[in-house]
Structures are given as structure tokens and as C-alpha cells.
Amino acid sequence: MTAPSVTKPVASAFCSPSVTLAPTGSGVLDGLRLAVKDVFDVTGYVTGCGNPDWQRTHAAATRTASAVGSLLAAGATLVGKTVTDELAYSLSGENAHYGTPANPRAPGRIPGGSSSGSASAVAADLADIALGTDCGGSIRIPASFCGLYGMRPTHGRVASDGLVALASTFDTVGWFAGSADHLRRVGTVLLGDDPAPVTLHTLLIARDLFAQLDESVLAALQPALARVKNHFATVAEVDVCNGDATPLMRAFRTLQAAEIWAQHGQWIGQTVPSFGPGVRERFDAAALVDPADVAQAQAVRDALRQRMAHLLPPGTLLCLPSAPGIAPLIGASAASMEAFRSKAMQLLCISGLAGLPQVSVPTTRLADCPLGLSLMGSAQSDMALLDCIAAHELRDRATPASVNIPEVLAEVQAAFARYEQALVGNQVAVLDHLFLDSEDTVRYGATENLVGTAQIRAFRASRPSTGLMRTLHRMVITTFGRDAATACIEFSRAGSERIGRQTQTWIRTDSGWKV
């Protein structure tokens, strides 16, 4: 296996050529933009898996993955397939062939992998929701690094047909969202109801896993921990791995590597593909896994599953770190990245080995970079977990009195651009989604004054779809803290010399930015 000689710079979140699909139905995802990691099949397109040799040696898909199809049927619009780490075997998000998708919430730092492009697209407000996969942490790490909600479901809960496998007993179909509401909406589509609905009443704090964090990271998470604790009647501290997660991490790596080589070893031997640094070494090591080590690792896994079933009966959640710290800088040394990966895997391997659902929540920031906190539930309690996160505010709502924080300004600019595109294109579902659903929402027009969502939607539904094009002459967007903004524009329409003026107030909600 050879390696590319040059590491690519920061790149687009999306693959080329563009892959877009209109909704096939209507439902809870109406008006939402969907991005999909390039390990999911879409009819008529080659699933590239982040590697040119894989792209070259595989044919176009003849059917679309069930998870993608379900989201389209619920009203989502596919806006593109996204860059992934090679064959999804990495946690960094740095692809030696296609570049590193930007981390809009922590510029100059990695987005996390292998679902890097999907996380980047949502963080940049190029998509509202995005599908990824989580085998060893590839939803939870990017979610933490990019300040997103990220869901890894119970293993096997979401259909995985049409997905290029990595390690089948660990692979899960997961997703990102910028809000708890959007995260839950995707869950209602992909998960359905829990087999045995439960009421969550007990919170356990993974004392030994938090003890692994550096002091600055632990201190940054303390306010978030306090907020989580406030929502539970019973709170207790527990040790998940008796103070040492290294044996669990080693068992995970052994089992995962053995499954990966069984899945891809023949193709690698026949193709001799070009892999980038880190990925190449992991595949080389996977080829050498000893069956005796696999048997020992399986015994470790079985023991952990029994322990977690005892530790997390129905109605109980476990709180643990999503990552050992903030995102490393792009281009960090191989040695430092491997050290970070090892620390991360000691936190990430728990749900992988036990097959349990886990959500990373964007709770705080450290050194002005996002840092997530995770909640893990018992097997098949996925919707209860999502309901809990949607019902309780766990994010840090402190808003500094800063004007035009760069990443917030970029979010509102993207939201306004989406509004403008929907306005001139008469995309009614998108416009309805972008306006706050409230009786307090008002729209003052040239010939009408509308108060409340019902009046605004009725006006929009009956408005002619022609003559909506306009030219923007001036636009000033100003953000206040992290949750409020104004947009002021001057515009004209073809055939008229009159200058129109429009002022909007935008607020951040659990469903994204709204007018």
C-alpha cells in the first residue's frame, strides 16, 4: 500500500460531482437540507469511500441506502454527498486525497473523522441534518469538535443496507444536527418508537472516565455537568472500567481490526490502493491480527456488556466525556495525533463494545473551541435519550455581548442566503421552516400586515409564483452575541426603479435560525 506524497489542504465538505435529490414524500423533515457521507449508496452514483482507488474499482450503485431513502420520504432534500476519511478508518477528518473539510466552529483545527464532511456541512449551515457512520467514534468526535449534536444509535437499530461496511459488529448509522429538535426529528424517522418506552429518572456520572481528562478540560465541562444533573431526581457517580480503560480500548482495536481486514483485506490485496498516513498503518496492522488475541478481546467485550447491562437498567443514563479535549490543529504531528487517538478511544470504545446508544451534546467551549458532553442510554432506549435531550436545555446559553462573532455571523449569512434563494424560487416549505412558528411573528409588507404564523403561511401559499426575482443592492447583517441578529437590505425588481427595503430579526432556536 503506497501513500500520497502531499497532504491536501482544507477543502469542501462535499464530494464532486454534486449529488442532489428532491424529497420523495412529505413529513417531519419538510424544508430540511440533508447531507450524506460518501459511504451510503445513492442510485446511479459510485460510492467513493474517500479513496480514489475504491472509486475507480467499484460500479455505480443500483439502489439507494434505506436510511437515505427514509429521510427523503420524510421531506428532506439531499444537497450533496460528503467527504469521508478513507474507508472510514480514521478519527481525524484529514483526507490525503481530497483534503480536510473545514471546521467552521474552530478554524484551523480538524473537523474530526471519519464523518468529517457531514459534520462540516452542518456546522457551516450548508445542511440542516447529515448522515454519517459511527464505528469507533466517527459521529461523536466530529460532533464534539464542530459544536453539533451527534447521535450514535443502538447497534443494529437503524437499517444499514446500502452502506459500505467497515466492521460489522461495530458499524452504526448515525447523524448530526445543529439543534436537538432536528436531531430528534431524524430519530423519529430512522428509529420509530422504542420497543419498551421508559421514563428516565437516574443519572450516573462516569467518574473514572472524567478523571482521564486534563484539568482545563474537566473545569470547562463542570457547568455543563451541573446543568445535566439538575434534570434528574437521582444522581450518582460510578466507575465504568475500574479506573483503567486501556484493556477495553485494546480489545476494541483488536476486534475492529480483525473485522476490517475480513471485510476489506481481499480488495486491498488485489488493488494495492494508495492510502494516506495513519490509515495505511492501521490497515497494515489489521492484516496481522492474531486469532488468539481476537478470542481474548471477545471475552473482554462480553464482560463489559454484562457490566453495562447491570450498570444501565432501563430508565438510567450515563454521562461521560465525548472527547478528551478540543479539536487538534490541522497538520499536527503523526505522534501527537496517535496519542490523541488513543486517549479518545478509551472514551469512545465503551458504547462500541456494548452496542449502546450515545449522543454528544454541544455543551460548552474551551479556548473558543467547541467541546461536547455525552449521554449514553441502555440498549434500545434511543428515542427516550433523544426526547430527554430535546426537552432539556443542556447547551451553554451564556451569550457574550460581542457583535459579529465570526462563526455566528457566517451562520446567519448562510441562513439569509437560504431565505433569499427560497424567496425568489417560491420554495414555500423552506420559507415556512425559516419563520418562527409563533403568534408573535409579524410580517409587514408593502400592501399587507400579517400577525402570527397562520396568516403568514396563508399569504405565502396564495401568492403568485411569478415576479419574485429581485436584485440586492445592499445588505448589512449584524449579530448580537450568539443567538440574535438583524438583516437589513435594499433591493429592486426588474422593470421598476423603486427601491425596496427589508429588515428582519433573526433568533437562534432549537430548530435553527428563524425570522
Q: How many CB atoms lie within 10 A of CB 397?
A: 11
CA distance 277 to 283: 11
User: Of 66, 138, 160, 360, which is the active-site residue?
Assistant: 138
Cα 461 vs. chain centroid, distance in angstroms?
A: 33
For residue 14, what is its C-alpha cell? 462535499
Radius of gyration over alpha carbons of the chain, in Å? 23
Q: How far is CA 34 from each of CA 44, 182, 284, 347, 433, rounded to the nearest angstrom?
A: 18, 11, 35, 29, 14
User: Of 12, 90, 92, 114, which is the active-site residue?
Assistant: 114
For residue 31, what is its C-alpha cell? 424544508
For residue 379, what is its C-alpha cell? 440498549
Per-residue exposure over 362-381, b if at least 16 CB sit within 10 Å of its own CB, e if not:
bbbbeeebbbbbbbbbbbbb
Q: Please name the residue that has the C-alpha cell 432536528.
A: 182
CA distance 181 to 410: 21
What element of type H or E holds 507? Answer: strand 500-509
Q: Please name the residue that has the C-alpha cell 478508518.
A: 89
User: Of 37, 81, 343, 514, which is the active-site residue?
Assistant: 37
Region at 99 (left for phi over 0; alpha for psi -120 to 50; beta for the rest): left
DSSP secondary structure letter of residue 91: S
Is 138 annotated as catalytic? yes
Is 114 annotated as catalytic? yes
DSSP secondary structure letter of residue 316: E
Q: How far is CA 232 from each of CA 114, 221, 273, 363, 388, rounded to the nearest angstrom?
A: 33, 18, 51, 17, 10
Q: Please name the residue that has the C-alpha cell 473539510.
A: 101
Backbone φ and ψ of 372, nearest 5°: -100, 165
CA distance 66 to 48: 18
Positions annotated as catalytic residues are: 37, 114, 138
